[in-house]
Amino acid sequence: MQYLTKLTLNLIKKSLNFTCYKLVIVENLSMKAMKINKITFLVLIMHSFCNLQSQDYTAKREKMVKKQIEARGVSDKDVLNAMEKVERHLFVLQEYLDRAYDDCPLPIGEGQTISQPYIVALMTELLELNKKKKVLEIGTGSGYQAAILAELAGEVYTIELIDTLGKKAGKILDKLSYSNIHIKIGDGYQGWPENAPFDGIIVTCSPTKVPEPLKEQLAEGGIMVIPIGEHYVQELAVITKKEGKLIQRGVTGVRFVPMKDEKGNKY
């Protein structure tokens, strides 16, 4: 037990950097005449600022859903609730934490990105999911889209070409206790025939044409949401299968990373 002087407090401020991102201590905090154990003090400070950070992210998610997603026309309440529940900041790189709820895609490493929140919500809504449905995702990436899908679908099968991204996403999703998400490292163009057919297929990278294996693995009455086109000129398409025939309609212009095979060649 000892008095904490201003000098000691300043040293603490300069030296500490917590994984609940950054510890900020109000400049004019006065410790005069306060006798307290250093460890207890630091624990209290950590707990307090982690709670403040959590509240800040909650407010940002609420704003994101209202201003970026609902205002643009996404109206499915289950989708909106999922977007408000899933913590996007857990899926972004630490250097982009302050932009986790911005209205834009963000880099996640390996030349890949986490999609703009609105696009995630829009594509999810277009799938018309419920807990009786099984969905396939091509391009796990950060795992964020898979988490949103898992809130709405019964089972989620997701394929990631890049080993490091797939494993990292798997660890995050396991930590968040998503038991209905199944991840495979491999070429998404080929789909996941062992678990087909799928009621929904969502593709988060852009081929120039709809992959034939994915057409075959779409269930009767199922919906596929996929960006199609060259790297800078793509259209988000919705494909439904009715009586074995595929019906395609365009939704909006988008920009996704290209779909590639294991050798890096574009499909």
**Catalytic residue ranges:** 115
- Report how far residue 202's alpha carbon sits from residue 212's, in angstroms, rounded to the nearest whole number: 14
CA gap 44, 150 in Å, rounded: 35
**What long-range pairs does 63-72 form, CB within 8 A, spacing at least 24?**
63/101, 64/88, 64/101, 64/103, 64/117, 67/103, 68/103, 68/117, 68/118, 69/117, 69/118, 69/121, 72/118, 72/122
For residue 267, give both structure tokens: 């499909």
Tokens found for residue 95: 């250097």
Give exposure, 116-128, as e/b (b: 16+ Cβ within 10 Å): bbbbbbbbbbbbb
